[in-house]
Structure 1
Amino acid sequence: MEKTEGITRARFLGGAAAAGAAAALGPAAHAHATEGRHGLRHRGVVYTVGEGETPATAWDTHRMRADLRAIRRDLHADTVDVTGDGVERLEATAGAAADLGLHVWLQPTPADIPQRDILEHLAETGRFARRLRRQGASVDLSVGCEFQLFVPGIVPGDTVLERVRNLVDGAYDPVATQRRLHAFTARAARAARSVFDGRLGYAAAQDERVDWSLFDVVGIDYYSAHPRPADHVRELRRHLRPGKPLAITEFGTCAYRGAPEAGGMGWDVVDHDRRPPEIKGDLVRSERTQADYVVSLVRVFESMGLYAAMAFEFVTPDAPYRPGDPRHDLDMACYALTRTVQDRPGDPRSPWHWEPKQAFHALARHYAAAARARRPG
């Protein structure tokens, strides 16, 4: 997980939106952008790699491999969005996913480092993605995620958190921001094209204006709440206008009542000034709310015949589950399909394991049914 002061586990989940087959695909890609077919081509989940907030939650090769096996075998996903920072972690995770036969959406997302370093990180990851693809793996490369948040110099603010707050508060110049966003996105696309010969995408916030001619796949982090499926379809149709495959690069909600209405800011219910951090207000834990929302969106994506959908996220190690202690149950405020259970609750050094939430089981049933329906005969 990207190291950012206060709320690293949130990934800021669309804060900007809340504020306001061989080589690269050519013209044939347009066929995948229409709603003439049903079902998802790729059913997936986001798997974040990063240093972790404590040694106990740091990235671990053994744990990563076990998690990917669970994604393949138990969640019945055929795709994993490998995202985060650290080229070695990204490469090891993407390689392990490919070994399991998973389609890989490889998305480096370093934060709060100079733009030049971000582009070098992207190029190094892209070279590995090319090697993996030439070995027979199914790999798409994303140049990054929500650049307004993660890349310094587009929106005012030295950290992701500062940039989120400036976007939410309107403390930025929209015209200058769009100009800087467009310039950096073009640089990122050029850097990736120079080293990678497969499908190229980008994970945009819902309200970002992106020059999609630079990419083969339109990627959207989608966190809307609507009363009817038709409302989601209506909103998503505009992302089909570039005439390219549409991937939902993130979707999901937290495990408390009312979380879907909070959209991409559902994580923002934790008081991190407290020690230990506390849930603000009187939230009511509801795994059913999360499960119902996730499955309802998958049905929408299937009805539109989208290229891919990747639920955010598989596990959030730094948001521990505290049953019977709603004030400190940080799992309520994360989007993970699993809950992090510490052997010694409240001890940041404690070993931990994950357990599936209702959303995990519901999505697994749906993914398994979709996989059976696609099998010939």
Structure 2
Amino acid sequence: MEKTTGIDRAQLLAGTASAALAAALLPACAARAGEKRPGEERPGEERPGEERPGKRPGLRHHGVVYTVGAGETPGTAFSANRMRRDIRVIRDELHADTVDVTGDGVERLTATAAEAAERGLRVWLQPTLGDVPERDILEHLAETGRFAERLRRQGAVVDLSVGCEFGLFVPGIVPGDTVLERVRNLLDGKVDPVVMQRRLDRFTAKAAAVGRSVFRGRLSYAAAQDDRVDWRLFDVVGIDYYSYFADKAHYIRELKRYLRFGKPLAITEFGTCAYVGAPETAGMGWDVVDHDKHPEEIKGHLVRSERTQAAYLGQLLDVFDSLDLYAAMAFEFVTPDAPHRPDDPPHDLDMAGYSVTKTLKDRPDDPASGWHWEPKAAFHALAHRYATARAAR
């Protein structure tokens, strides 16, 4: 089946942490691991593309995406206390060794990154401010990158990604005032590919330069699968991967294209939704919600299937293991604005979400309602795989 351009599912499915919190966690990181000079390798730290002696082959780092957006309602606004609990679960119950901290808001990003580092997780820090002027996006990147460098100097293991799928989130590359408008214009062919590529190259180079100016560790970018990127600008190739094939050989053949650059390959997003047939949508599984209805409603007669989601994640992990990839981050940990309604299938928005947990609201029709998450089959599948990998290491 033909794949489609990947997108940031969290942004489309649609309270602030204190900077003092993030700063307070830094000394503990430094005390645990010790400072180092810029460019100096810590004992046991791998350089990009370098294998440690005796290291068994397979996927090197197992992670999950944790989005720190403000939430669409009062009840789903960012909570530092909830974030701390989630990070502990990611380490102790999901058994991930890496967390991809993404979203917008420097204070939210830095507080979450500091918490993850303090808990001993590898941090993949990726600011994704969108739909604002270029200057604001680059300033947001610079401020986040400076904090990433502070974490790195004080002992944390941090990779910095300069952003995600710029064609969708940075105004002026693809026609359209919003992310959704740009997605539709791409799907409808209302884009001049030559002009788009020129604009994308220009902004990607700017973002890479900003990243290099503030951060001395590994630099990357989360590209859509079909993006043409000058990977000479980066240390790690990053791909948001949502392909679907009937057999493993096709996945391997496709992914090998990204290894030709001679750099480590990180799968910066992979996953699918929890309904029958979702993997075959190749990254467009989110597009089954009628947003014109109130309340929003699932189109058609989809059949919920957590098993389908879990099986797809396992299938891709098999592929990533066989290629000895650098890292893979499952998309995503939680999507609070897509609640699960077990007794109301037409309004079970969790079916159209990619999270490995399901959000349950105390009062389903109240925007200010409290909520909690429960693990889905995909959570348990990842936890088993990640625990096995951790034990092998």
**Scaled by the length of structure 2, what TM-score is found?**
0.88
Matches within 5 A, 1:249-328: 249-328=268-347
Say if 2:216 is the partner of 1:197. Answer: yes
Structure 1 residues 8 and 293: alpha-carbon distance in aligned structure 2, compared to 1, 3 A threshold: closer
2: CA distance between counterparts of 1:8 and 1:352? 23
Q: Kindly indicate whether the alpha-carbon contact (under 8 Å) linking 2:99 and 2:329 is maintained by their aligned counterparts in 1.
A: yes
Equivalent of 1:180 in 178, 199, 217: 199
CA distance in structure 1 between the partners assigned to 2:9 and 2:263 by the alignment: 31
In the aligned structure 1, how far is the partner of 2:322 from the partner of 2:40? 26
Instruction: Give the whole-Å Cα distance in 1 for the aligned partners of 2:248 and 2:368.
Output: 43
Distance 1:288 1:347 in 2: 30
Asked if 1:96 corresponds to 2:115, the answer is: yes
Deviation at 1:138, TM superposition (A): 0.3
Shift of 1:11: 3.0
**CA pair 8-322 structure 1, distance change in 2 beyond 3 A:** farther
Distance 2:40 2:193 in 1: 32
Amino acid at match of 1:277: E
Given candidates 252, 260, 285, the residue that maps to 1:233 is 252
Secondary structure class of the residue paired with 1:264: coil
Partner residue of 1:146? 165
8 Å CA contact retained: 2:60, 2:324: yes
Matches of 1:265 and 1:8 in 2, distance apart?
Answer: 10
SS in 2 for 1:124: helix
> Contact between 2:57 and 2:324, CA under 8 Å: does it hold in 1?
yes
* 2:363 matches 1:338: no
Distance 1:174 1:236, change over 3 A: same
Alignment of 1:26-37 (within 5 A): 29-31=48-50
Task: Report how far residue 40 of structure 1 moved.
Answer: 1.7
Q: 2:11: which partner in 1?
A: 11
Q: Measure how far apart 1:29 and its partner are.
A: 3.3
Question: How far off is 1:23 after superposition?
Answer: 3.5
Partner-residue secondary structure (3-state), 2:282: helix
Match of 2:263 among 231, 244, 250: 244
Pairing 1:80–2:95 present = no
Question: 1:65, 1:96 within 8 Å by CA — same for their partners in 2?
Answer: yes
Matches within 5 A, 1:29-68: 29-31=48-50, 38-68=57-87
Secondary structure of 2:214's partner? coil
Aligned equivalent of 2:39: 23
Q: Supply the AA of the counterpart residue of 1:236.
A: L
1:123 matched to 2:151? The reply is no
Whole-Å separation in 2 of the counterparts to 1:252 and 1:176: 31
TM value normalised by structure 1 = 0.92
Q: CA deviation at 1:12?
A: 4.5
Deviation at 1:230, TM superposition (A): 1.3
CA distance in 2 between counterparts of 1:328 and 1:291 reads 22
Write out per-residue CA displacement over residues 225-257 of structure 1, whole angstroms, 9 at most, x where no aligned residue: 111111111100000011000000000000000
**Partner SS for 2:220:** strand
- Tell me if the contact between 1:44 and 1:78 (Cα under 8 Å) persists in the aligned partners: yes
Q: 1: distance between equivalents of 2:190 and 2:255? A: 28
Q: What does residue 360 of structure 1 align with? A: 379
In 2: Cα distance, 1:178 partner to 1:120 partner: 23
Report the alpha carbon displacement of residue 31 of structure 1 after superposing the two structures with TM: 4.5
Contact 1:83–1:109, Cα closer than 8 Å, also in 2 = yes
Q: C-alpha displacement at 1:8, in angstroms?
A: 9.1
Relative to structure 1, the CA distance from residue 255 to residue 129 in structure 2 (aligned partners, 3 Å threshold; closer, same or farther) is: same
The answer to whether structure 1 residue 373 and structure 2 residue 389 are counterparts is no
CA contact (8 A) 1:53 1:318 kept: yes
Identity between Structure 1 and Structure 2 (%): 72
Once residues 108 and 94 of structure 2 are traced to their aligned partners in structure 1, the CA distance between those partners, rounded to angstroms, is 22
Question: Structure 1 residues 9 and 210, CA, compared in 2 at 3 Å: closer, same or farther?
Answer: closer
Letter in 1 for 2:192: D
Paired residues of 1:337 and 1:357 also in contact (CA < 8 A): yes
> Partner of 1:141: helix, strand, or coil?
strand
Q: Distance in 1 between matches of 2:384 and 2:48?
A: 30
- Residues 318/366 of structure 1: CA separation in 2 closer, same or farther (3 Å cut): same
Question: Which residue identity does 2:386 align to in structure 1?
Answer: Y
Residue 108 (1) aligns with residue 127 (2): yes
Residue 165 of structure 1 pairs with residue 181 of structure 2 = no
1:10 Cα deviation (Å)?
3.7
Q: Take 2:160 and 2:56, find their aligned partners in 1: how far apart are those partners?
A: 24
Deviation at 1:28, TM superposition (A): 6.2
The match for 1:17 is none
Deviations 1:39-91 (A, max 9, x none): 22210000000110001000100000000000000000000000000000000
**Any conservation in 2 of the 1:24–1:216 contact (CA below 8 Å)?**
no
Which consecutive aligned stretches of 4+ in structure 1 deviate over 4 angstroms post-superposition?
none
CA shift for structure 1 position 176: 0.3
Q: Provide the secondary structure at the position in 2 that maps to 1:194.
A: helix
Q: Which residue of 1 aligns with 2:238?
A: 219
Q: What is the CA distance between 1:360 and its match in structure 2? A: 0.1
Q: Provide the alpha-carbon RMSD of the alignment.
A: 1.9
Structure 1 spans left out of the alignment, 5+ residues: 1-6, 14-20
DSSP 3-state at the match of 1:111: coil
Q: In structure 1, how many angstroms separate the alpha carbons of the residues matched to 2:343 and 2:47?
A: 54
Mapped partners of 1:260, 1:105: distance in 2: 25
